[in-house]
Structure 1
Amino acid sequence: MSTLTRPSPLTRLRRGHWAAPAASALLITVAAVLSWTAGVNPFSGGHGPSDLTTGSALLVGVSDLLMVAAAAVSGVPILIGALRALLVRTIAIELLVSIATIGAVIVGEFWEAAAVTFLFSVGHALEAATLTKTRSALTELVAVAPDTAVVLRDGTQVEVSAAQVAVEQIVLVKNGAKVPVDGVVLTGSGTLDEASITGESLPVEKVEGDHVFAGTVSTGGFLQVRATGVGVDTTLARIIHRVEEAQDAKAPAQTFMEKFSTWYTPIIILGAVITAWVTGDVVLGLTLLVIGCPGALVISIPVAIVAGIGRGAKDGILIKGGQHLETAARISAVALDKTGTLTEARPHLTDVTVLDPALDRGEVLAWAARAEAGSEHPLSRPIIDAATTAGRAVEGLPEQTFPIPGKGIVAIVDGHRVSVGNLPLLAAEGITDDSGAAAQVDRLARLGRTPMVVTLDARVIGIIAVADQVRSDAEEMVSRLHTSGIRTVVMLTGDARRVAEAVAAEVGVDEVHAELLPEDKLDVVRRLQSERHTVAMVGDGVNDAPALAAADIGVAMGAAGTGVAIETADIALMKDDLLKLPQAVALARKTIRVMTQNITIALITVTVLLVGVFAGGVTMTLGMLVHEVSVLVVVLNAMRLLRPDAAAGGSRRAPGSIADRAPAAGEPAVSAS
């Protein structure tokens, strides 16, 4: 295997952005020493006094030639850049500098020519270095990509290139190693640092059945992983691709600024020519060319966008591009799906209420579980699991099962007709005596639970209820959204209104829209937009697809394991963490503030320099120096976005659900099986 050698510092200098300014600085230094030796100030301009001795005049002549050479060394790359831009019909900043430099040489301002090109090339090198820093998030992502993998082949451990691992192969992840593939843990246990994928600062424990991602690092334990995604199909590869595209995508403000510069630059050239012609002062015209360089203005927006998107990538927030970053900063309304967003999408049994004195709780639960054994409804699983836990094992399937859409299920179990569903199911079954079920259903629904009436052979025997646990950070997330200035937080759900209202009351949303079909969610989003809201929709991308597509910003949560979400969502929150949503909004707004600051800095700099030129005292050299300083200030200001923000304050609530709170006064206690 060949070994790659790092180039020497001298080689890197010669090949890098610093080669031209370094050579130019050396020539300027030698030229200055020669002029001083001849008794001439090298920075005074012109060719020096006429009464010089022959030797001194020779030294001054050589000094002038070296100054011209310095201007050429650092100016030729600038001229090449200007010509390349002209070939694609673009008048670039480099053209202004090139014209000013050539003009300065013609009128004998050799020091000005050398200084302008030297300062411009130094500024370009510093700008390139700092821009590279703003793209550090992408560099770090590429750096964590694993190179090798240890796979099991015929029971033997074999080390191969990560690119050679095939889907379904068994990969071994040892302590300290990088995970080379996306996969599922088959055996073993350990902890992984997933910061590169989700932004999570603490290691995550992994056991059998858990998903792992390429690029994460084992901090302990030993895992056998079945590969499900390799090469370009890994989550890490998709993130890198997404960040590359996002950092290159142009925001509307950036596009406007580029169009502005295409008119601004020719106007500056025309203004400089007119000024030189009217005043008869060629140097003044050349100085205006240098002063008018819109470098800080042009770079003010893209550097902020690159830094903002990079910071988001480090924090597990993928933003599709500058356009979506700008839109996210204007969000004034957030629409949230309930199930799987505000709740954990893991319903559990909370209540078993007996309404037939001939039966006990275990029997009511057993009949319900036997009937639900033939159901595909997601609420059947917690009922069956609760019965199994209570010692009422569910064996086999009902003889017959009849799903009743929108109402529940009817099943024939050991010759008995059992139904589990809502109150309208009783009417469908022809049952007129509800044995007080309506009152209990109303009470349980007000508590945020989903009640289901259980009947046996046309008589009501009890009620069971399930509840989905509200996420521990849901209330804090809504609070942070409100604090950040978002006026309206809306919950959209297909669940029953009483259940939805109970969840909404707990988390603090402003509006509740319940019992919705997918197209109804779309209507709510469009209504918010008609009220001049910029709407972000957070959902799972399945039944929320129409609303996600219509919203100004579609947000996917927990996207680390979902390649489709990474590629299609406007903003993808890699970790299943609600607090990432207000963090994303805050990042977008901070990025826009930095963009505004940068534009202000650039405009003030150009204005002050123009006033200084006509007032006297601002030379070409000073103008270029201030111009390059303004460019660096703009870039460094954008780099502030790369600093991780301090964690937002506020207490975190302990996990709990509406179903877990104590009964209010006057409410009968209920038991959960």
Structure 2
Amino acid sequence: MKARLEMTVAELDCADEAQQIQGALSRLDGVVDVQTAVSARRAVVGYDPDRIRPDAIREAIRGLGMTVSESGAPAARHGRSLPELLGWGFVSVVAVMALAGVVGERLGLVDALVNRIPAWVALTAVLAGGYPIFRNVVRALRNRSVTSHALMTLGILGAIAIRQYAAATVIVFFMRLADFIEGYTTERSRQAIKELLKLAPETARVERDGRELALPAGEVARGEVVLVKPGDRIPVDGLILEGRASVNQAPITGESVPVEKQPGDQVFAATICERGALRVRTDRVGRETTFGQIVRLVEEAEASKAPVQRFADRFTASYIPVVLGVAVATYLIGGS
């Protein structure tokens, strides 16, 4: 019997970190499958409860240096860390230098400028700009996982080894630029999901012991009666017991015209009661509602990988050892 564990991971910001989580959890005995949604900072793990406990899964993620909380809790991540700010500053500076280089190349100034830059300055720039990348690569290797950044890091180390600091700087620049673009698109997806979640009401009016109570929508139990007044967003999926109303179902069905509802009809969470009042028996709440399932499908679509992405992950993992093996063999045979 497979159980399901959903977690919020505050540091889940890019595909490499998602790959690290998947690699670390996939090696655990009892873990059946792992899905990650970067835009929602969520990891969903299918596991056999007879072979592994949820705490062991959480500890495996914490072992990667990441923070884990219950799914639905806000990810405690605000602003950017100092290394990230330094990284973006590096990208900006190198971009300006590249633009200046286009002009300087025509004037024959680039070679003279590169030759005048001390090696320690160039090396410091590479290390400062590439620190977030190197940190992720080391973390991944420590957990026996090879990510796409590992391949580029190998190129940086090779450039440094032959004292081609300008080439190393360019590699770091494009890697950081790619991270910036990925972060921008991920943040847009994250904001889109947040806007979608705002359609669901946070509170509900519930009848308990003859009284009307305002409770968080997630605390409503199945079978309880929810009161809906004109202008309210319906907080649950359920069956109308009393009342008639005109309900805007656009968030669920996309219909532009409100639908007339009466006793015995079904209503859905996140829809709007435009006219009339209702007493609704609760059937489903939270992520079990039709609206919750729509949000889940959006997150799963974002988390799923295309065949070309899966091929790229496998290629990266096998390509680096092959290249290193060929390089060592070439050196041993040819001496260069």
Among 234, 245, 263, the residue aligned to 1:208: 263
Distance 2:265 2:211 in 1: 24
Distance 2:269 2:195 in 1: 14
Identify if the C-alpha distance between structure 1 residues 154 and 249 changes in structure 2 by more than 3 Å, giving closer, same or farther.
same
1:22 maps to which residue?
88
1:225 corresponds to 2:280: yes
Distance 1:273 1:219 in 2: 73
Shift, 1:185, TM fit: 1.7
Q: Secondary structure at the match of 1:224?
A: strand
Among 161, 172, 181, the residue aligned to 2:227: 172
Distance 1:44 1:120 in 2: 26
Kept in 2, the 8 Å contact 1:148–1:159? The answer is yes
Kept in 1, the 8 Å contact 2:236–2:289? The answer is yes
1:150 corresponds to 2:185: no
Distance 2:108 2:332 in 1: 31
Kept in 1, the 8 Å contact 2:239–2:283? The answer is yes
1:129 corresponds to 2:184: yes
Residue deviations 1:483-516 (CA, integer Å, cap 9, x gap): xxxxxxxxxxxxxxxxxxxxxxxxxxxxxxxxxx
1:262 corresponds to 2:299: no
Residue deviations 1:610-647 (CA, integer Å, cap 9, x gap): xxxxxxxxxxxxxxxxxxxxxxxxxxxxxxxxxxxxxx
**Following superposition, which runs of at least 4 residues in structure 1 exceed 6 angstroms of deviation?**
29-32, 271-281
Q: Secondary structure at the match of 1:69?
A: helix
Q: Secondary structure at the match of 2:215?
A: strand
Kept in 1, the 8 Å contact 2:242–2:263? The answer is yes
2:128 maps to which residue?
73
Identify if the C-alpha distance between structure 1 residues 156 and 91 changes in structure 2 by more than 3 Å, giving closer, same or farther.
closer
Among 247, 250, 255, the residue aligned to 1:192: 247
The one-letter amino acid paired with 1:263 is S
Aligned residue pair count = 256
Kept in 2, the 8 Å contact 1:170–1:224? The answer is yes
The one-letter amino acid paired with 2:207 is L
Kept in 2, the 8 Å contact 1:46–1:108? The answer is no
Shift, 1:31, TM fit: 8.3
Kept in 1, the 8 Å contact 2:94–2:173? The answer is no
Among 123, 128, 141, the residue aligned to 1:86: 141
Distance 2:149 2:112 in 1: 25
Distance 2:331 2:194 in 1: 47
Distance 1:249 1:210 in 2: 35
Shift, 1:47, TM fit: 2.8
- In the TM superposition, what are the counterparts of 1:152-551 in structure 2 within 5 Å? 152-245=207-300, 247-250=302-305, 254-268=309-323
Kept in 2, the 8 Å contact 1:31–1:42? The answer is no
Kept in 1, the 8 Å contact 2:237–2:266? The answer is yes
Q: Secondary structure at the match of 1:47?
A: helix
Kept in 2, the 8 Å contact 1:70–1:114? The answer is yes
- Between 1:127-136 and 1:220-229, the stretch displaced more is 127-136
The one-letter amino acid paired with 1:145 is A
Distance 1:273 1:227 in 2: 67
Residue deviations 1:274-314 (CA, integer Å, cap 9, x gap): 89999999xxxxxxxxxxxxxxxxxxxxxxxxxxxxxxxxx
Distance 2:251 2:328 in 1: 54
Kept in 1, the 8 Å contact 2:83–2:132? The answer is no
1:111 maps to which residue?
166
- Percent of aligned pairs with the same amino acid: 33
Shift, 1:117, TM fit: 1.0
Distance 1:222 1:179 in 2: 11
Kept in 2, the 8 Å contact 1:182–1:228? The answer is yes
Q: Secondary structure at the match of 1:144?
A: coil
Distance 1:43 1:210 in 2: 77
Q: CA RMSD in A?
A: 4.3
Q: Secondary structure at the match of 1:160?
A: strand
Distance 1:189 1:134 in 2: 38
The one-letter amino acid paired with 2:260 is E
Kept in 1, the 8 Å contact 2:160–2:168? The answer is yes
1:613 maps to which residue?
none
Residue deviations 1:508-528 (CA, integer Å, cap 9, x gap): xxxxxxxxxxxxxxxxxxxxx
Q: Compute the TM-score of the two structures, normalised by the length of structure 2.
A: 0.59
The one-letter amino acid paired with 1:47 is N
The one-letter amino acid paired with 1:227 is T
Shift, 1:89, TM fit: 3.6
Kept in 1, the 8 Å contact 2:151–2:316? The answer is no
1:47 corresponds to 2:115: yes
- In the TM superposition, what are the counterparts of 1:657-668 in structure 2 within 5 Å? none
Name stretches of at least 5 consecutive residues in structure 1 with no aligned partner.
Answer: 1-6, 49-59, 282-673
Kept in 1, the 8 Å contact 2:87–2:130? The answer is no
Distance 1:216 1:269 in 2: 58
Identify if the C-alpha distance between structure 1 residues 142 and 268 changes in structure 2 by more than 3 Å, giving closer, same or farther.
farther
Residue deviations 1:455-491 (CA, integer Å, cap 9, x gap): xxxxxxxxxxxxxxxxxxxxxxxxxxxxxxxxxxxxx
Q: Secondary structure at the match of 1:151?
A: strand
Kept in 1, the 8 Å contact 2:148–2:313? The answer is no
